[in-house]
Structure formats: structure tokens, C-alpha cells
Amino acid sequence: MEGGWSWEQQTLMSELIEGMEFAKQLRVHLGSTSSVETSDALVQRILSSYEKALLILKWPGSGSTTVRAQQANIGAAAPNCGVPESPISINGSPKSSDDFDGGFKDNLDHQENSKKRKTQPRWTDKVRVSFESGLEGPHEDGFSWRKYGQKDILAAKYPRSYYRCTYRNTQNCWATKQVQRSDEDPTIFEVTYRGTHTCSHGQSTQSVPQPPSPEKQEKRLNHHNSNNNKNYQQQQQQQQQQQSQDILSNLRKGLSVNTNGLDNRELEPPFTFPSSSFGYMRTGDHCFPPSMLDENTFLGFCSTYTAPSTPESNYFLCQMNSFGDAQGFEASLPDLLSGNNSSANSPILNMDFSLDPAEIDPDFLL
């Protein structure tokens, strides 16, 4: 299947093919009576594919074995990863691009017990959380995380939470993530991932992890605020807690969420609706207001945790959820290849130019 292509080439081609495919779908949808959310989702997916492709072209260490190994791990060998596998910040968040370069070679450093992790490959996702739909806090990303710290950040209203993989010790998995609520929009959580999962507890083989439930988190925060911002945070959190609880109770009554498609191992009542409440924003400039997100569709994509080869809508949304997820990736690639091989093939592979992701205007793709 690979014909000796490098990982970059394969991924690049796949991304471009995907982008093309989604563009076609979008065209069809736009031509018909499509729903707004479908169109938006398609656009989002297209953008993502192209951005990834472009970033791959820009990949600084594409000649390095170390990097390649890491990439392989990221893009192909970790099909279960619910985290965005790419160490590239696809959303163009400044914080992720700056220390991206020196990242991989430091990957081992942190395993040698530095109290402050050196620069690591990291990338940020933004997760919109809607109180109207009930979920709060870090979304399900398919992995088990253990919180190991929380810190008030100077310029931020909200503290930053630090999570590491639950299986750090048992499986030597050094993936971590940071979750920070956006100042400007408290319904948005910026999730910064660092390192890739080496554990075998990806989303498809492992029960959906359970980040602290919204209520729990808020309660705890109220009890244990540290240092500055205390009053502000308490106000905010109490407010939010109130909102959440109202909504939650409504949801419990009326929203008996479709957990049949989900792994419903251990899902606690307040968390039986993980899919319906957040928009997943992968590019900094594109977001889906929750109102535009169809609840049922999200339920569908949530279920694709365990059903990668679902009908197209689900597949698509699965991709949205697990950015760069090799599940949907792999499922779709053969089809795409079989049908559209010729048009997406050659020119790209010979490209030899440099593109700075920062130069990519997200709008130019539109």
C-alpha cells in the first residue's frame, strides 16, 4: 500500500485526498438542502485536512529519523489515539508553534525527571463547552488522565490544570495535557497536549475516561481555590455551577442520551451526554457555536469511538472529535484511494517548497 513512501508522503496524500473528498461532499451538500451544521462540519474537515497537509510540508525535521519515528507513532501507529495525534498545532495557536521545533529531541529529557518539562511537541485544541447542553470541563478525548497539578496563570483569569496519562507509571506513557479555560469565553477550554500516548489505552480499547464530572470539578474548585483570583473564580464558578446543575437536571429528565452506541461502561449519570455539549474547534479561527451543532449528530460521532466504520456522517464527526485520528483515517483511505487516486496523487509528492503555517491564512482555503 505504501510503495516505499515516507510517512509524510502518505499522510500528506491522505490528507489532501480527504480534503478533496470533503470538498466534494460539501459541494453536494451546498447544492442540496443541507443543514447548516453539516456544511460547517464539512468545511471544518476540509480546512483541517489541508492545514495538516500544509504543515506536513513544512515539517522542520522531515529528514530526521527521530522525527519520523515520532511521526509514525503519531499519525499511523497510534490508531486509538483520541488525542490529536499530530504534534502540530493545527489551530494555529501561538503557544503550540513556538516550542514545536525543538520538541522531539527533548522527548526523552522529561523522562529523566526534570521538574520543569523542557519544550515538548505540543498542540492545542479548543473545546467549546456549552452550559446549555450540560457538559463542562475537559471533554472526553479517549484517554485516561490524572490531574497532577493546578496553577494560577498570571495573565489568565482561570487556573490551568495539568493532567498526565493515568498509565504513566504502569506503561511509561508520558503524554500530558493542560487544560485552561479561556478568559474571553469561559465556555471554551484550551487543551494543550504534550507528548503522545505510548500506552495501550486508547479510546477504542479502553473505557472512555472520566474526567471529573462538571459538578465535581466545580465543587472542588470552590473548595480549593488557590491564591489570587479567588473571589472572581468563586463567583464565576458558583454561577456556572448553578447553571450546570439546572441544565443537568433538565438533561437528566429529557435527554436520555443515546449511550447504546457508546461504550457505556462506567458512565456516570451526569456524564451520559458527553457528545452533545461541546463543539470541537481545531483551527483557531473556526469554531462551531454549540447552537449549530446538532445534538444527534454529536451523539453519533461520540459513538464512533467504537465504530470507526460507521456511516459517513458519523465517520466524519469522529474525525472531528479525534483530530487526526487514524481510525477514520484508515477507514476512509482505501475508499478514497480507490475512487480518486489519480487526481490527488502526483504533484504533491514532488513538491519542494517551504510553507510557513503561520503564513497560511485560514481564509484562503475558503
Partner DNA sequence: AGAATTTGACCACG
Partner DNA sequence: CGTGGTCAAATTCT
Burial class (CB in 10 A: 0-12, 13-18, 19+), 364: exposed
First-to-final CA distance of the chain: 32
Nearest alpha carbon to residue 231 among 221, 242, 243, 246: 221
Identify the residue among 28, 153, 351, 358 touching DNA (CB under 7 A).
153
| Minimum distance, C-beta of residue 42 to DNA, in the bound complex (Å) | 34
272 is a contact residue toward DNA (CB under 7 A): no
Task: Give 15's contacts (C-beta < 8 A, 6+ positions apart).
Answer: 49, 50, 52, 53, 56
142 is a contact residue toward DNA (CB under 7 A): no
Side-chain-side CA neighbours of residue 84 (13 Å): 29
Which positions from 168 through 187 interact with DNA, judged by CB under 7 A? Answer: 176, 178
Residue closer to DNA, measured from CB, 86 or 176: 176
| Minimum distance, C-beta of residue 166 to DNA, in the bound complex (Å) | 5
Residue closer to DNA, measured from CB, 165 or 336: 165
Q: How far is CA 189 from the centre of its chain?
A: 11
Identify the residue among 149, 289, 334, 339 touching DNA (CB under 7 A).
149
Residue closer to DNA, measured from CB, 273 or 316: 273
| Minimum distance, C-beta of residue 293 to DNA, in the bound complex (Å) | 26
CA dist 65 and 71 (Å) reads 10
CA dist 60 and 100 (Å) reads 9
Side-chain-side CA neighbours of residue 156 (13 Å): 17
Residue closer to DNA, measured from CB, 155 or 366: 155
Which positions from 99 through 118 interact with DNA, judged by CB under 7 A? Answer: 110, 113-118
Nearest alpha carbon to residue 232 among 159, 178, 135: 159
Which positions from 31 through 90 interact with DNA, judged by CB under 7 A? Answer: none
223 is a contact residue toward DNA (CB under 7 A): yes
- Among 65-73, 222-230, 294-302, 340-348, which window interacts with DNA (CB under 7 A)? 222-230
| Minimum distance, C-beta of residue 156 to DNA, in the bound complex (Å) | 7
Residue closer to DNA, measured from CB, 154 or 366: 154
Contact 208, 145 (CB under 8 A): no
244 is a contact residue toward DNA (CB under 7 A): no
- Among 84-92, 150-158, 315-323, 356-364, which window interacts with DNA (CB under 7 A)? 150-158
147 is a contact residue toward DNA (CB under 7 A): yes
Contact 68, 6 (CB under 8 A): yes
180 - beta bridge partners? Answer: 160, 190
Residue closer to DNA, measured from CB, 210 or 313: 210
Nearest alpha carbon to residue 177 among 158, 159, 196: 196
Residue closer to DNA, measured from CB, 68 or 118: 118
Within 10 angstroms of residue 206's Cβ, the number of other Cβ atoms is 20
Which positions from 189 through 218 interact with DNA, judged by CB under 7 A? Answer: 194, 211-212, 216-217
User: Residues in the site for DNA, rule: CB under 7 A?
Assistant: 110, 113-119, 144-155, 160-162, 164, 166, 176, 178, 194, 211-212, 216-217, 219-221, 223-227
